[in-house]
């Protein structure tokens, strides 16, 4: 490693502290001790983290090699890496910066033997985990209606997040007894197949360190300084990790905000902040309270709202920026009206010369996105919905990955089962059931059981030959791809498995998209190879498979198109937008019905609202509907309590203009999604229409010009951006 950090001079040091406010400077230049930084929304948290790292290297003389920074999302890790790189000129290889899961994975790869894993262990994502649990339950004749697999999955993950193995838990009642039984079954199966789920990554690493003093000692010596982002989101296991590793002379800086704790429902322990003060004594406290993001009005409103929570550590954000515009509250007649209002405002915003991507619509639950989407579609305003199905979670991608996984480890039962008959090759349920049965009887993997069936002809000859064809295919593939580069491996697998042809033959837009996705998979692999860090060992395929499980694979293609952003308030955390809408501020929706019952849930909802509001930089617009269609019923809900908690002087109420026509009876006037319209105009397309192009993929029609052969269509493609196309030339297909 090049000691480029040695070249730092005193000038550099003062440079690090420039442009920081007092509190920030205090945090960045604090002496080497344990630090708790309570960083309010928009107070320059990431900045402090990055500058602190620079300071540690320049002023304290620490080697990047000894510093480790942990975040929760890949995005945050990436951002931090970029900023470190641009500030210090350090290659990101020099320092460990990553998510808890990413770090755990790296440690397990390096010490797979001590951790009791095989070299090619694979990672289960939550979908894989769910399928696995369901499969095991069926195998053991456990009633899925009485014990919903989802609940079992939740139980298992919750226990793992608390650091508990099935054997560590004593069952108190019938329910727990059964849950434990399934936990044990699952644990056993994962162990046998060398599969590791997300929680297991952390648990295994914890156990590895706990039980291997030499390994622990090595990393305790290596990681001298820890930085933890979003500390309020840590769970018990992650905290235990920190306590174990960050020991004996090592120092740690945690940055968090108790007011932004919105993940307690999945095990995050805000209490860890208080625990930290105890366990890591002595702790220096620093509060970052100056906000650089929002206007005075927005901040004032958010502050007043959050003051209604009585469980806070206490913190009041302030700003030097001006009051700004008042917060608008729109009382819509119904959800439809609300959606139209929002789209309308965004259009105005755009017409006033601003960018669409500066506007975000936030909501409590994903279900709300549909009606908004329809409104955007109808108005022909480009939008992007965040969340939902990710690239690596798509069924066809998971099929392809299952082939790769099986090729790596033929004993991977979940991969085997996933593709044994995909594409259909005459191995029906009966054959699969027999394979499963034999596997169970003789304690073999499905693959081994299939071999046995072949050898001993345990099924009718037609089934046996179908199975042997499959086995031969896999073996053939193993030989074929052995010497290929990763992207070519994937291409070859897609080709020889006939997976690609299978979808190519299929008609319709869905199949077309699947083909596109599959083709994109090899480019994703190519890109992955390029960015692969050299200091991490392991076969590229193994690395790539882990990558697909750990990274969502957010489409970066449409990052550049100018779109309004739609997302839940949860996924908006960490982001900021000049214009923010929060939709559906109604009792029962936000705060959500499910959270209303207990006090804690309500407090968390309020924090969520706080997070949502503090995303706004210039203008915040809140809205609620008096009537909302919910599960087919028209429900009348009172305006959210949160609206009453915002000071009047910050607010400007907007009432619908009289001339807005409100559909009296829903359904009658309800506008169908544009894609369902039959009355196209001359060119065959109308703005808002979803279309597909052979080369550019899916897109949305923005404008239509001219008629007949000369007609031109402007299409905003998801991946390729906005383009003008000759309608007669480009074979655009409409998407139903």
Partner DNA sequence: ACCTGAAATATTTTT
Partner DNA sequence: TATTTCAGGT
Number of neighbours of residue 552 by Cβ within 10 angstroms: 17
Q: x-or-dash pattern for DNA, window 120-139, by CB under 7 A?
A: -----xx-------------
- Of 385, 384, 358, the closest CA to residue 579 belongs to 358
Task: Tell me phi and psi for residue 403, to 5 degrees.
Answer: -60, -50
Q: Is 242 helix (H, G, I), strand (E, B) or coil?
A: helix
229 flagged as catalytic: yes
Rounded to a whole number of angstroms, the minimum distance from the CB of residue 509 to DNA is 14
Region of 224-232, 302-310, 424-432, 437-445 interacting with DNA (CB under 7 A): 424-432
Q: Which is nearer to DNA, 317 or 585 (CB)?
A: 585
Q: Which of 125, 161, 230, 335 is catalytic?
A: 230
The residue within the footprint of DNA, chosen from 83, 243, 436, 592 (CB under 7 A), is 592
- Contact status: 421 vs DNA (CB under 7 A): yes
Residues in binding contact with DNA, number by CB under 7 A: 41
Locus of tokens 């010369």: 353
- Contact status: 376 vs DNA (CB under 7 A): no
How far is the C-alpha of 706 from the C-alpha of 691, rounded, in Å?
18
Q: Is 670 helix (H, G, I), strand (E, B) or coil?
A: coil
**Three-state secondary structure along 437-489?**
HHHHHHCCCHHHHHHHHHHHCCCCHHHHHHHHHHHHHHHHHHHHHCCCCHHHH
Rounded to a whole number of angstroms, the minimum distance from the CB of residue 7 to DNA is 34
- Contact status: 567 vs DNA (CB under 7 A): yes
Cβ neighbors of 184 (< 8 A, separation 6 or more) are 166, 167
CB-based contact 619:661 (threshold 8 Å):
no
507 flagged as catalytic: no
Cβ neighbors of 240 (< 8 A, separation 6 or more) are 163, 206
Q: Which is nearer to DNA, 61 or 426 (CB)?
A: 426
- Token digits for 443? 């304690």
Half-sphere exposure of 334 (CA within 13 A, CB side): 19
Residues 202-261 that bind DNA (CB under 7 A): none
Q: Which is nearer to DNA, 213 or 594 (CB)?
A: 594
Output Rg (C-alpha) for the chain, integer angstroms: 28
Q: Which is nearer to DNA, 174 or 668 (CB)?
A: 668
> In sequence order, what are the beta bridge partners of 416?
none
- Contact status: 551 vs DNA (CB under 7 A): yes
- Contact status: 575 vs DNA (CB under 7 A): no
DSSP string over 558-587: GGSS--EEEEEHHHHTT--EEEEEE---BT
Q: x-or-dash pattern for DNA, window 664-703, by CB under 7 A?
A: ---x------------------------------------
Region of 60-68, 546-554, 640-648, 693-701 interacting with DNA (CB under 7 A): 546-554
CB-based contact 259:610 (threshold 8 Å):
yes
Q: x-or-dash pattern for DNA, window 335-374, by CB under 7 A?
A: -----------------------------xxxx--x----
The conformation of residue 318, written as its DSSP 8-state character, comes to B
Rounded to a whole number of angstroms, the minimum distance from the CB of residue 593 to DNA is 8
430 flagged as catalytic: no
Rounded to a whole number of angstroms, the minimum distance from the CB of residue 424 to DNA is 4
Residues 48-107 that bind DNA (CB under 7 A): 72-75, 99, 101-102
Region of 6-14, 344-352, 444-452, 628-636 interacting with DNA (CB under 7 A): 628-636
211 flagged as catalytic: no
Q: Which is nearer to DNA, 242 or 288 (CB)?
A: 242
Q: Which of 229, 259, 338, 399 is catalytic?
A: 229
How far is the C-alpha of 265 from the C-alpha of 154, rounded, in Å?
11
284 flagged as catalytic: no
Q: x-or-dash pattern for DNA, window 174-213, by CB under 7 A?
A: ------------------------xx--------------
- Of 258, 257, 254, the closest CA to residue 279 belongs to 254
Residues 146-175 that bind DNA (CB under 7 A): 148
How far is the C-alpha of 204 from the C-alpha of 597, rounded, in Å?
36
24 flagged as catalytic: no
CA 150 to chain centre: 19
Under the rule (CB under 7 A), what is the footprint of DNA? 72-75, 99, 101-102, 125-126, 145, 148, 198-199, 265-266, 364-367, 370, 387, 421, 424, 426, 428, 550-552, 567-568, 570-571, 592, 594-595, 601, 605, 629, 631-632, 667
- Residues identified as active-site: 45-46, 229-230, 260, 615
């Amino acid at each position: 490693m090049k000691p480029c950090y040695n070249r730092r001079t005193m000038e550099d040091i003062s440079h690090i502290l420039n442009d920081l406010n007092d509190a920030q400077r205090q945090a960045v230049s604090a002496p080497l001790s344990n630090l708790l930084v309570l960083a309010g929304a928009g107070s320059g948290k990431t900045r402090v983290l990055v500058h602190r790292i620079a300071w540690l290297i320049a002023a304290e003389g620490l080697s990047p090699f000894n510093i480790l920074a942990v975040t929760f999302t890949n995005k945050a890790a990436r951002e931090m890496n970029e900023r470190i790189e641009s500030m210090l000129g350090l290659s990101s290889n020099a320092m460990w910066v990553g998510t808890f899961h990413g770090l755990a994975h790296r440690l397990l790869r390096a010490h797979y033997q001590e951790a009791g894993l095989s070299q090619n262990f694979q990672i289960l994502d939550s979908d894989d985990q769910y399928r696995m649990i369901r499969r095991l339950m069926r195998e053991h004749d456990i009633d899925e209606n009485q014990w919903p697999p989802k609940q079992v999955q939740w139980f298992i993950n919750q226990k793992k997040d608390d650091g508990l193995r099935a054997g560590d838990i004593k069952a108190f009642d019938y329910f727990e007894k059964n849950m434990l039984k399934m936990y044990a079954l699952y644990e056993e199966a994962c162990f046998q197949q060398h599969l590791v789920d997300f929680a297991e990554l952390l648990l295994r690493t914890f156990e590895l360190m706990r039980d291997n003093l030499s390994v622990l000692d090595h990393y305790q010596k290596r990681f001298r300084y820890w930085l933890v982002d979003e500390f309020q989101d840590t769970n018990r296991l992650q905290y235990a990790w920190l306590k174990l590793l960050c020991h004996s002379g090592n120092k740690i800086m945690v940055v968090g905000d108790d007011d932004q704790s919105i993940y307690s429902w999945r095990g995050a322990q805000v209490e860890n902040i208080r625990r930290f003060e105890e366990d890591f004594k002595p702790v220096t406290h620093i509060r970052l309270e100056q906000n650089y993001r929002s206007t005075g009005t927005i901040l004032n409103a958010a502050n007043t709202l959050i003051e209604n929570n009585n469980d806070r550590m206490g913190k009041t954000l302030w700003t030097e920026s001006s009051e700004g515009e008042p917060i608008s509250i729109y009382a819509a007649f119904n959800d439809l009206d609300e959606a139209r209002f929002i789209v309308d405002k965004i259009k105005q915003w755009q017409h006033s010369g601003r960018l669409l991507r500066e506007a975000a619509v936030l909501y409590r639950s994903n279900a709300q996105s549909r009606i908004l989407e329809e409104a955007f579609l109808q108005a022909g305003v480009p939008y992007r919905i965040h969340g939902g199905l990710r690239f690596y979670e798509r069924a066809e991608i998971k099929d392809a990955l299952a082939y790769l996984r099986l090729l790596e480890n033929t004993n991977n039962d979940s991969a085997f089962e996933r593709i044994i008959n995909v594409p259909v090759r005459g191995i029906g349920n009966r054959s699969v059931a027999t394979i499963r049965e034999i596997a169970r009887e003789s304690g073999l993997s499905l693959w081994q059981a299939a071999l046995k069936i072949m050898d001993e002809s345990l099924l009718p000859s037609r089934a046996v030959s179908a199975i042997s064809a499959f086995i031969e295919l896999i073996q053939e593939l193993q030989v074929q791809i052995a010497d290929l580069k990763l992207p070519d491996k994937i291409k070859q697998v897609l080709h020889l498995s006939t997976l690609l042809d299978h979808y190519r033959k299929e008609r319709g837009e869905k199949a077309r998209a699947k083909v596109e996705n599959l083709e994109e998979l090899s480019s994703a692999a190519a890109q992955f190879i390029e960015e692969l860090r050299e200091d991490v060992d392991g076969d590229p395929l193994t690395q790539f498979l882990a990558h697909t499980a750990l990274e969502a694979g957010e489409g970066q293609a449409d990052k550049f198109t100018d779109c309004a952003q739609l997302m839940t308030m949860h996924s908006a955390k960490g982001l900021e937008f000049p214009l923010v809408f929060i939709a559906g501020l109604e009792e029962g929706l936000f705060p959500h019905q499910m959270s209303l019952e207990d006090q804690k849930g309500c407090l968390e909802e309020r924090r969520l609202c706080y997070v949502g509001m503090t995303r706004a930089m210039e203008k915040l617009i809140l809205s609620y509907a008096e009537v909302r269609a919910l599960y087919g019923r028209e429900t009348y809900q009172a305006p959210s309590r949160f609206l009453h908690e915002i000071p009047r002087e910050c607010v400007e109420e907007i009432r619908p203009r009289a001339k807005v026509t409100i559909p009296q009876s829903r359904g009658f006037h309800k506008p169908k999604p544009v894609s369902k319209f039959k009355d196209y105009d001359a060119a065959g397309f109308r703005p808002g229409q979803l279309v597909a192009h052979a080369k550019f993929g899916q897109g949305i029609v923005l404008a239509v010009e001219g008629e007949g052969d000369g007609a031109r269509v402007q299409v905003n493609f998801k991946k390729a951006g906005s383009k003008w196309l000759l309608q007669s030339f480009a074979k655009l297909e409409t998407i139903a």
